[in-house]
Structure 1
């Protein structure tokens, strides 16, 4: 486990993204589309967990989710003009808030501006990329572990009924597909991991909704 100092030595002090002439490509759209679906699902998940962590209504307040989605959509449009991917809520920041107990909008906004400024300093980016993998892995385990634990806490506090086979099946399928990095390809479209889990979750929810409407299955279970 060594720090790769030569990466820092070769990096320039000032760095900007490499720009190219944009080209319209249906194939590129098909590749990025699954990421857009993940953004929608991840947005609701991160917002729900954040709501539980900070103890302040974010989704439940009037137009809370719609306004948050609108901000995300505007950010994605702006990102696309610079060749970026669909922007999303950052799950790692949710973990940082849970660890530090700092929920101030001004602090987080200031950190965002500071991060943007640091992105133009090539040496800083090089230092981060030169970090030994075990070090970054240890930080990732803690952050993603906090996010997962916060999600489990949300399920417990919401009193999700896992005696209901439908809830059990939906959760089991999503976990295996998303965490297990399953992949399905349909022509140019490729769904993997979180994207596949999000799509399957939507399909399963619609399927069980249709089953309820048709009155198929155990009525007592449907009521739960």
Structure 2
């Protein structure tokens, strides 16, 4: 049976792509996804100077738009992108959100243009450009390139090493692993949520959780929306915003391809062919355009949520939709949003060790399942270069434009695979 047929069921899935979980467990599974991405989602607007409530709202609606455009076939969560922080901070000082909005909308338009080209030209080139020897190491890089961030969350308190933080992160990590390994059924499926809750309780006992912001935040709070042509009139086109944001869209596209590769591997499907790369790109771009129209930052797919699916083998699109609805609603519930923001770094770090590590392990599995032979120099050279460039984050920077290590590793890996002979002269 064709794996892309809706009647196909992944034998490894606990709850597969089109299966709806029981209502009693559905909301908990969705909350688990919400908690896993919440920290990064609200951190981006805080760094830029935007309202976190808008980021939550736009991530929820953006995810729903992405799922609709991809015909409900891809369980991808869309949220705030870190790639645009530097130009966004600069623009907020010179042009305010008017500049950021134009840049964010430009990013979405670039995605739609590329999606249109792919729709016309097709995506058969993907199989040639991205064989297992390229895909496997790229997925490993996606998981391990953020290992430093996870470690910083687990150890560092305002830039200084904190033993208390490290202890909390390790307890959170081990509890999550134990829940996943020794619990059965539903309780095993929400191991990450249980780990966060237990880690949070331990953090409260250690006295590192500050509830003052929760107490001062109202229950209901309207996000500070910024509507183009209503909140402000763009009397001029901010070409510096457009020219600084648009090229970075190709960086997030490379990460987007990587995330689709991981989802292909996890779900045993080929999303590049069905619903098609043009639809996944269009969904991503539309999400960013929506964010720019309501006052949010640019949006991209999130590895944290892919990590959750890799751990619990629940790939249901319904669960992702539930997380999106919660995010959109939480954008208006001040106290709930503030409470989740109090989840301390070491808890996020401990959970991230599991989430990002499982993504990296999925890349290793691709290499093993496809019996990639590292005695062949062709394979050894490609994998070695991708891993070191990507994990080391050897980025390309020209002016304000910066192409991340993951993007550089992806391009270099594709080029090497296309130009290197399958067999070296010395073999």
Fold shared, TM-score > 0.5 on shorter chain: yes
TM-score normalised by the chain length of structure 2: 0.44
Distance in 2 between the 1:172 and 1:81 partners? 42
Does the aligned pair in 2 maintain the 1:39–1:86 contact within 8 Å? no
Shift, 1:189, TM fit: 1.5
1:16 matches 2:223: yes
Count of equivalent residues? 213
DSSP-derived class of the 1:221 partner:
coil
Does the aligned pair in 2 maintain the 1:43–1:89 contact within 8 Å? yes
18-27 or 75-84, larger mean C-alpha shift: 18-27
1:221 matches 2:427: no
Counterpart in the other structure of 1:189: 401
Does the aligned pair in 2 maintain the 1:37–1:199 contact within 8 Å? no
Counterpart in the other structure of 1:201: 410
Counterpart in the other structure of 1:28: 241
Counterpart in the other structure of 1:98: 310
Distance in 2 between the 1:114 and 1:170 partners? 42
1:139 matches 2:351: yes
Counterpart in the other structure of 1:3: 209
Aligned alpha-carbon RMSD (Å): 3.0
Does the aligned pair in 1 maintain the 2:378–2:422 contact within 8 Å? no
Q: Which one has more relative contact order, counting CA pairs under 8 Å at least 6 apart?
A: 2
Does the aligned pair in 2 maintain the 1:32–1:85 contact within 8 Å? no
Counterpart in the other structure of 2:250: 37
1:98-127 CA-to-partner distances (Å, cap 9, x unmatched) read 222222222221221122111222222222
Distance in 1 between the 2:374 and 2:295 partners? 43
Distance in 2 between the 1:11 and 1:166 partners? 58
Distance in 1 between the 2:416 and 2:316 partners? 41
Shift, 1:90, TM fit: 1.7
- Structure 2: gaps spanning 5 or more residues: 1-205
TM-score normalised by the chain length of structure 1: 0.77
1:129-174 CA-to-partner distances (Å, cap 9, x unmatched) read 2122111111111111121112221232234443444543443333
